[in-house]
Structures are given as structure tokens and as C-alpha cells.
Amino acid sequence: MCLGILKALHERMKSPQRGAWTYRTLANWSGFSELDPIFQDCIQLMVVHPRIRALDMHLLYFSPNRADDIGIPLSAEEEKFALRSDGFYVDPDSGEKVPDYKAYLVPYFVPAAKLEAESRG
């Protein structure tokens, strides 16, 4: 499964348009289900394995108050606090801490330096 995902990633690296790759994007490209726990294990390995490290993870915030929200990327500082087990996230519109904020933060991935280097050959 990991090799399938990696192959799909290398294909996408040929395209000039990258965008934000969510679990769903990666699952659609590689032909797996985003809900499959093994697929989620593979994404973990793509991010953390020192010999793979193909992806860097970031977060997008989807406001529960806007139905057509396309997501706001979190800053490095916001991510740092949001990722903690006892963390928080402040809504940029209201300035209020978002209750149950982890349900509105969507992880997305960008190519890590290693994948960029590999795709350049």
C-alpha cells in the first residue's frame, strides 16, 4: 500500500499544480479508502519514517459557521498549540476559542524536501 501511495505521489510531482493534499486526495490518487486504518498507517509512515519522509503535515481550519468554507491554513504558531493534546484554536473571525476545535481541523500534506529532491532527480 505504501509503495502504491509513493508511486501516486511521484506521478503528481510531475504536475506544476500541487495544492493541498488531504487524506481524501491521497486516497483518490492511490485507489485506497481514506477510512482504512492501514491506509492511515501508511500516511503516518510517509510523514515520520526517517528513510521515507515524503510528506510534511499541516492543518486547515473549516469554520462550522460557514457552509461553503474552503479552509484557512493555520500558521506555524497556531498549529503548535492546536496539535497539543490540551491545545486550543481561536477562530480568526470571532476571536473566540473554538470548542471541540479538533473536529474542524483537517490535516493536509505538502511534499517534503526529500520528495522534492527525488522528483528533481
Partner 1 sequence: MGEITQQDMERHAATSATRGIRYRLMRWGAGDVPDYIEFVETVQLATALSCNLLGTNPKLHKKHSEDSLTELVIIHMMGLGFDARLDSMVGGHCDMVVNLNGDYKWLAEAKIYTSHSWVWQGYQQLATRYQPGDPHSSHGGMLIYCRKPDTTAQMVKWQGYMKSQNPALVFPVGTVLPIAGLFYSQHDSPRTGGPQTIAHFAVPLNWAPATKAKKAAAKKAATKKAAIKKAATKKVATKKAATKKVATKKVATKKVATKKVATKKVATKKVATKKVATKKVATKKVATKKVVIKKTAAKKTAAK
Interface with partner 1 by CB under 8 A: which residues?
22-24, 34-35, 37, 40-41, 44-45, 47-51, 56-59, 62, 76-77, 79-80, 82-84, 87, 100, 102-107
Three-state DSSP class for 68? Answer: coil
- For partner 1, give the closer residue by CB, 12 or 89: 89
Beta strands in 10-120 (DSSP E): 21-22, 55-61, 72-73, 105-111
Beta bridge pairs of residue 105: 61
Write phi, then psi, for 40 (nearest 5 degrees): -65, -35
Toward partner 1, which CB reaches closer, 79 or 121? 79
Least CB distance to partner 1 at residue 40 (A):
5
Residue 70 or 121: which CB sits closer to partner 1?
70
